[in-house]
């Protein structure tokens, strides 16, 4: 059996950040194909072949009544064990999507070449940026007509504020797509390959062999752009990639699996293995023999017949063993990880190999909260608190039946504590306002209040608001208005919920002394 060191060194754990339709599912499937056997969290029993498409497990999860798709896919490739954590988007977008990014060591950003950088990508990017994790960019759909590559690079810089280094560069696009000029591997990779897929480049960066490309105007244009990049572009820097300051950019087409393997090979070369994580007892070394990890999301089972939840644990040190005894640092409570533990895998004998970088699912009967640390260490340390994410959607919530106030309060407070939703109270009326980053969170909340606490809630939509926290603990409560609602969060910190950008700006101009901040702003 491999040592912990060897195991950890082989782990690469990432999430894909993208806007719906950019090609996340397609790229994931292609990546999984390279790995052959696939394990994932969404299946009850592994299929015989051990291979199935992403769409299958989503269906299975639906059948099980878990509507919040959340999965970890794992594959082995070239000596690496790769974990891809799914980041649900669109209707399934929630704080869990952000929290998943707390559990990865790097991110792959997919950009649709025709659409450029889109909304959801920007939000997810900010969270990665906050953590300073490396971001690898895959510009997809080169088989279609899209924006000019130089324009896309400019967008990365202007919209996201990240510098880029193109590892390869497209020769044409759409129906004229010839392939990529691979600066990193010093070769040309052809899209349609009647002849060799790879053509070697010489030391000057031109084709090393006689080829019809030499007379192609598209190729000539590529060479000019490559020259421009070499002269005016950023320099390649492994260190800056590792620090999340420079994103290596790859062009390709997930649908036709073009450029995917080239991407994967380079990704594995530069993506970090699990790193030490900060805790209340200093940094925790992933190679340490003490087992530890933190819970980054809790998935409620939406099926009332199955009240159990699954808590997702990112392992940060040591080796997971079935039946091991751990302590929950928050309470000091001992927990046995026996049959209550579901390794996020099929029934292959992999259970002894779960180390830092891997994810396990713990059946939860109400023990865990998001952000909880469990460990076998005598020191009940806790990993860094997960950040607060800025909610964008709000509802006012009350109990339908006033007689159910007690259950209502208990339910809300437990769900808030668990991290399912954010709670605010208006300063004036002490009304309850719930905040979320996605509509799904309200639906889950409503459902769980009914099924777990037996309370029907009434939610009055307040729509989109801009939440800004107040730095000071003293706020003139007269600043409250319908367009700038003054609230307190669950930690009793003041915040304003602004009607829109205009209201925020107007307020800031009128009240320059009230220092506002957005916890998700790039620092």
Residues 59/158, Cβ–Cβ less than 8 Å:
no
- CA–CA gap between residue 521 and residue 502 (Å, rounded): 18
For residue 333, the cross-strand partners are 328
Nearest-angstrom CA–CA distance, 400 and 438: 23
Name the CA dihedral angle for 405, 408, 412, 415, rounded to a multiple of 10 degrees.
150
SS3 119: helix
- Secondary structure percentages of the chain, helix, strand, coil, to 5: 30, 30, 40
Least separation, in Å, of the C-beta of 228 and ligand GDP?
Answer: 26
Rounded least distance, CB 28 to ligand GDP, Å:
8
Taking the least distance from each CB to ligand GDP, the nearer of 255 and 427 is: 255
Of 18 and 422, the one with the shorter C-beta distance to ligand GDP is 18
For ligand GDP, the closer CB: 134 or 252:
252
Whether 272 has a binding-site annotation, put simply, is no
Q: How far is the CB of 40 from ligand GDP (least distance, A)?
A: 15
Q: Residue 115 annotated as binding?
A: no
CB of 110 to ligand GDP, least distance (A): 7
Q: Within 10 A of 228 (CB to CB), how many other CB atoms are there?
A: 11
Q: What number of other Cβ atoms are within 10 A of residue 204's Cβ?
A: 7
Q: Which is nearer to ligand GDP, 20 or 519 (CB)?
A: 20
The answer to whether 413 is a known ligand-binding residue is no
Indicate the length of the chain as a whole number: 523
Q: In terms of CB distance, is 28 or 367 closer to ligand GDP?
A: 28
Would the annotation count 89 as a binding residue?
Answer: yes
3-state secondary structure of 479: helix
Q: Check if the beta carbon of residue 266 is closer than 8 Å to that of residue 183.
A: no
User: DSSP of 428-457, one letter per residue?
Assistant: TT--EEEEESSHHHHHHHHHHHHHHH---E
The two most distant CA atoms of the chain are separated, in Å, by: 84
25 is in an annotated binding site: yes
The owner of tokens 């469990």 is: 374
The reply to whether 18 sits in an annotated binding site is yes
Chain residues binding ligand GDP by CB under 6 A are 18, 20-26, 140-141, 143-144, 253-255
Cβ 21 to ligand GDP shortest distance, Å: 4
Q: Closer to ligand GDP at the Cβ: 25 or 441?
A: 25
For residue 317, how far is the Cα from the chain centroid? 21
- Does the annotation list 19 as a binding residue? yes
Least distance to ligand GDP, CB of residue 36, Å: 20
Closest separation between CB of residue 303 and ligand GDP, Å? 25
Nearer to ligand GDP, 120 or 398 (CB): 120
Least separation in angstroms between residue 90's CB and ligand GDP is 7
- For residues 188 and 182, the answer to whether their CB atoms sit within 8 Å is yes
372 is in an annotated binding site: no
For β-strands 39-40 and 72-77, DSSP reports them as antiparallel
Q: Would the annotation count 20 as a binding residue?
A: yes
Exposed, middle or buried: residue 6 (CB in 10 Å: 0-12, 13-18, 19+)? exposed
In the complex with ligand GDP, the residue whose CB is nearer, 141 or 319, is 141
* Residues facing 83 on adjacent strands: 13, 74
- Torsion of Cα atoms, 76 then 77 then 82 then 84, to 10°: -100
∠ at Cα 395 (506, 512), nearest 5°? 20
168 annotated among ligand-binding-site residues: no
Has 513 been labeled as part of a binding site?
Answer: no
Nearer to ligand GDP, 68 or 487 (CB): 68
Q: How far is the CB of 252 from ligand GDP (least distance, A)?
A: 7
Could you list the residues known to form a binding site, using ranges. Answer: 18-25, 86-90, 140-143
Binding residues for GTP: 18-25, 86-90, 140-143
């Amino acid at each position: 059996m491999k040592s912990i060191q060897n195991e950890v060194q082989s782990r690469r754990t990432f999430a894909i950040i993208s806007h719906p339709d950019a090609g996340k599912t397609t790229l994931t499937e292609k990546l999984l194909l390279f790995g052959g056997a696939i394990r994932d969290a969404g299946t009850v029993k592994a299929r015989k072949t051990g291979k199935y498409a992403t769409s299958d497990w989503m269906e299975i999860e639906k059948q099980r009544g878990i509507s919040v798709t959340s999965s970890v896919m794992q594959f082995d490739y070239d000596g690496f064990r790769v974990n891809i954590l799914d980041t649900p988007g669109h209707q399934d977008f929630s704080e869990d999507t952000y929290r998943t990014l707390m559990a990865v060591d790097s991110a792959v950003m997919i950009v649709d070449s025709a659409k450029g950088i889109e909304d959801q990508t920007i939000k997810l990017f900010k969270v990665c940026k906050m953590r300073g994790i490396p971001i690898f960019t895959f510009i997809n759909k080169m088989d279609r007509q899209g924006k000019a590559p130089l324009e896309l690079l400019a967008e990365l810089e202007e919209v996201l504020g990240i510098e880029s280094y193109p590892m390869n560069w497209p020769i044409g696009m759409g129906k004229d797509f010839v392939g990529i000029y691979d600066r990193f591997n010093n070769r040309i990779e052809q899209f349609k390959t009647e002849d060799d897929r790879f053509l070697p480049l010489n030391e000057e960066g031109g084709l090393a062999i006689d080829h019809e490309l030499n007379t192609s105007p598209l190729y000539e244009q590529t060479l000019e752009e490559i020259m421009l990049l070499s002269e005016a572009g950023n320099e390649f820097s492994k260190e800056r990639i590792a620090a999340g300051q420079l994103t290596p950019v790859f062009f390709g087409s997930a649908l036709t699996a073009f450029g995917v393997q080239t991407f994967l090979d380079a990704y594995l070369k530069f993506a970090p293995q699990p790193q030490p994580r900060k805790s209340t007892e200093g940094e925790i070394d992933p190679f340490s023999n003490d087992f530890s990890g933190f819970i980054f999301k809790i998935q409620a089972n939406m099926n009332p017949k199955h009240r159990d939840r699954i808590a997702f644990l990112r392992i940060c040190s040591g080796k997971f063993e079935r039946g091991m005894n751990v302590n929950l640092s928050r309470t000091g409570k001992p927990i046995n990880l026996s049959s209550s533990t579901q390794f996020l895998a099929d029934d292959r004998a992999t259970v002894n190999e779960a180390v830092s970088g891997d994810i396990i699912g713990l059946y939860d009967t109400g023990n865990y909260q998001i952000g909880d640390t469990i460990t076998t260490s005598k020191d009940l340390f806790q990993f860094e608190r997960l950040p607060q994410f800025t909610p964008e959607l709000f509802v006012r919530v009350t109990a339908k039946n006033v007689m159910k106030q007690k259950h209502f309060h208990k339910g809300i407070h437990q769900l808030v504590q668990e991290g399912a939703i954010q709670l605010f109270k208006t300063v004036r009326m002490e009304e309850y306002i719930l905040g979320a980053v996605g509509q799904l969170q309200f639906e889950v909340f409503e459902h769980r209040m009914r099924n777990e606490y037996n309370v029907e809630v009434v939610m009055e939509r307040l729509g989109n608001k801009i939440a800004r926290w107040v730095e000071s603990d003293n706020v003139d409560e007269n600043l409250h208005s319908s367009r700038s609602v003054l609230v307190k969060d669950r930690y009793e910190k003041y915040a304003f919920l602004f009607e829109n950008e205009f209201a925020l700006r107007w307020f800031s101009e009128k009240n320059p002394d009230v220092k506002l901040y957005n916890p998700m702003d790039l620092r």
